[in-house]
Structure 1
Amino acid sequence: MKEACIIFIFPGRELGVPMKILIILVVVLTMSTKKAKGATRAFFVFGDSLVDSGNNNYLPTTARADSPPYGIDYPSHRPTGRFSNGFNLPDLISQHIGSEPTLPYLSPQLTGQKLLVGANFASAGIGILNDTGVQFVGILRMFQQFGLFEQYQGRLREEVGAEEAKRIVNGALVLMTLGGNDFVNNYFLTPVSARSLQFTIPQFSRYLITQYRNILMRLYELGARRVLVTGTGPMGCVPSQLATRSRNGECVAELQQAAQIFNPLLVQMTREINSQVGSDVFVAVNAFQMNMNFITAPQRFGFVTSKIACCGQGRFNGVGLCTSLSNLCPNRDVYAFWDPFHPSQRALGFIVRDIFSGTSDIMTPMNLSTIMAIDSNMY
């Protein structure tokens, strides 16, 4: 990505009005080139199924969303590997920042100039801890996602040179979504788990934060300078937990308690890292409150329910997986949850709205609109 430069030379002539117009045009063209260069900000995505855009399609794992009715509302109306009826969280953020959607890193289409858009390294089923999601077998744990990120940077250097590659990585927006699986698919996976014998819920939350800190510091070492870090959502209110743990559809207290302990610790940890590195690199996203807004008052957001998944079976459509044999609602836009675990595309739209314009209680220390304004001329 070389910056265009147009030079006009007028030897031995005094600048008349037409020539002044030409020189003004040169300046405008150069400024426009710089603006266009800055407008295509790269976007990198790390984490779990909430942000996986299809990496697990290429892996030997059971954690997959590659069969109908997943993708029913995607433009192609076909499954893409996204755990959504249509677009997922990274897609909607990309749309808001005016970027192409990031391709899964394992996609063979991610070559050449596509590398400049960024990449999605997320893998459904993973957690902060390496022992989270072992039941899903061949998933990309965080150290593997970072290994691929290093590989990506090598490919990017070959494409645009070392200096430009560094600028792209440092100037990128990054999304990191972890934590939910460490509770749902580890600590609370069975009535008595190895981790629940080892830790109380507060102890486990603090342990997760120490490990998450290591992950974020490694991401900083790899060049990330603006990272959205989402906390866990209201894990006790998703249809899968209502189906298996609640008596009358009430949110499960233990899981809600875990989220309410973990999330403030996450905010505190990101503040401490920012203080340590001397910049607001990490931005804590209060996904718990963002989700609770439409879970507690679904009708206000145009949903008929926040308890029943659109696709599933059993109580609250929350038992098992979403498959072609599942119950399927005719209108996904009036359901807050698409499947037993994941919000619908429309619900994600409200979350992205809050990411962009939310107040300091849900976006700490600033929302994405502020970030984009601050960073517009930085890189």
Structure 2
Amino acid sequence: MASTVLGLAVAVAILGCSLVAHVAEGRAFFVFGDSLVDNGNNNYLATTARADSPPYGIDSASGRPSGRFSNGRNIPDFISEALGSEPTLPYLSPELNGERLLVGANFASAGIGILNDTGVQFVNIIRMFQQYRYFEQYQARLAALIGPEQAQQVVNQALVLITVGGNDFVNNYYLVPFSARSRQYALPDYVNYLISEYRKLLERLYDLGARRVLVTGTGPLGCVPAERAMRGVAGQCAPELQRAAALFNPQLTDLIGELNSELGESVFIAANTRMMTNDFISNPEAFGFTDSEVACCGQGPYNGIGLCTPASNLCQNRDVNVFWDAFHPSERANGFIVQTILNGSPDVISPMNLSTVLAMDNFS
């Protein structure tokens, strides 16, 4: 009996040492936000905001839908590749346990926004306050696995991505004519309100231990196929949504500069995804795209009406469309966005690009 206990103790010690070594080798990656970065959390929820049926995932390694709003990889997947890591699992996945916790976790949920009343039509989604609660729960699970000090090190040294804000316009302010928020605020005042609430989210993320946080703005909201179809004139980008993005993104960049100044270090990195995506839309041929207006999967004008389903129109070559469905970039467009995040100039990612961050934070 004594030898059995001793053997078990040795096995546990060896496991602990191997996990600590794993911590030292890699860098965890945590993801917060909406459908642009959801890796499948909504698959586990009773909600209509899901991407769990074909043809989603048609160009992924498995060829099957995973909950990503893409024909293949999304932005977090490409960032994981840049980190030399496997993709993060959705936090709600039963597979996220043991050593898989050391890779990080994806807490994102399609439909959510900065504000709690964004996406109410989707009912059961993981709003930002709940994503943060899950992050606290994750940290407790990690501490039980490798000890509190090592767990804190994993969180402090991790790369964090947060992508939120677009739904606060598309699925709140502009969801219906004369929405409650549009009656409450003129657009510039609403943007100011969103920025003040986003500040609270970023400050809370810092309090939870995040020390390298990549913050993406909204894309060119008025140019997505859904908005072209519903609000565009003669096929042009919807001007009000474009105005919203043009107001929001520079203020978000300013906010990040203010927070870094207050903290005395470059914790937050601003990625202007609107400017990045504008390049595809204004000059698609330069990137090998042939269509920057019509979604690959959908129906109606620009394939921008309704959901992408097995009954939808589906383009044959997904590599030539900027947009996969009514709202989301194609896999290839996601890859270009991450390339710009990695190597972009200060006008699109500041105070430094991700490659510089990774070089500075080489923990090996």
Give TM-score scaled by structure 1 length.
0.90
Give the conservation status (yes or no) of the 8 Å contact 1:127–1:181. yes
Shift of 1:276: 1.2
Query: Counterpart of 1:279 in 2: which secondary structure?
Result: coil
Give the conservation status (yes or no) of the 8 Å contact 1:104–1:120. yes
Deviations 1:177-221 (A, max 9, x none): 000000000000011100000111110000000000000000000
1:146 aligns with 2:132: yes
**Percent identity between the two aligned chains:** 63
| Amino acid aligned to 1:208 | L
Q: Return the alpha-carbon distance in structure 2 between the equivalents of residues 225 and 2 of structure 1.
A: 25
2:56 counterpart residue number: 70
Deviations 1:303-323 (A, max 9, x none): 111000000000000011100
2:354 counterpart residue number: 368
Deviations 1:23-70 (A, max 9, x none): xxxxxxxxxx98x75441000000000000000000111100000000
Give the conservation status (yes or no) of the 8 Å contact 2:30–2:106. yes
Shift of 1:247: 2.2
Q: Return the alpha-carbon distance in structure 1 between the equivalents of residues 157 and 185 of structure 2.
A: 39
Give the conservation status (yes or no) of the 8 Å contact 1:45–1:175. yes
Give the conservation status (yes or no) of the 8 Å contact 1:38–1:376. no
Give the conservation status (yes or no) of the 8 Å contact 2:23–2:102. no
Choose from 241, 244, 250 the match for 1:258. Answer: 244
Q: Return the alpha-carbon distance in structure 2 between the equivalents of residues 222 and 103 of structure 1.
A: 20
Give the conservation status (yes or no) of the 8 Å contact 2:23–2:154. no
Choose from 263, 273, 288 the match for 1:277. Answer: 263
Query: Counterpart of 1:306 in 2: which secondary structure?
Result: coil
1:300 counterpart residue number: 286
Give the conservation status (yes or no) of the 8 Å contact 1:69–1:323. yes
Choose from 159, 163, 181 the match for 1:173. Answer: 159
Query: Superposition RMSD on alpha carbons, in Å?
Result: 1.3
Q: Any unmatched runs of 5+ in structure 2? A: 1-14
Query: Counterpart of 2:30 in 1: which secondary structure?
Result: strand
Q: 1:376 to 1:3 in 2, by over 3 A?
A: farther
1:118 aligns with 2:112: no
Q: Return the alpha-carbon distance in structure 1 between the equivalents of residues 114 and 78 of structure 2.
A: 24
Give the conservation status (yes or no) of the 8 Å contact 1:240–1:318. yes
Shift of 1:159: 0.5
1:186 counterpart residue number: 172
Q: Return the alpha-carbon distance in structure 2 between the equivalents of residues 73 and 52 of structure 1.
A: 17
Q: Return the alpha-carbon distance in structure 1 between the equivalents of residues 86 and 287 of structure 2.
A: 28
1:244 counterpart residue number: 230
1:199 aligns with 2:182: no
1:42 counterpart residue number: 28
Query: Counterpart of 1:337 in 2: which secondary structure?
Result: coil
Q: Return the alpha-carbon distance in structure 2 between the equivalents of residues 363 and 235 of structure 1.
A: 19
Query: Counterpart of 1:119 in 2: which secondary structure?
Result: strand
2:90 counterpart residue number: 104
Query: Counterpart of 2:142 in 1: which secondary structure?
Result: helix
Give TM-score scaled by structure 2 length.
0.94
Give the conservation status (yes or no) of the 8 Å contact 1:309–1:337. yes
Q: Return the alpha-carbon distance in structure 2 between the equivalents of residues 120 and 195 of structure 1.
A: 29
1:156 aligns with 2:131: no
2:327 counterpart residue number: 341
Q: Return the alpha-carbon distance in structure 1 between the equivalents of residues 234 and 39 of structure 2.
A: 34
Tell me which moved more, 274-283 or 181-190. 274-283
Query: Counterpart of 1:135 in 2: which secondary structure?
Result: helix
| Amino acid aligned to 1:311 | C
2:6 counterpart residue number: none
1:267 aligns with 2:253: yes
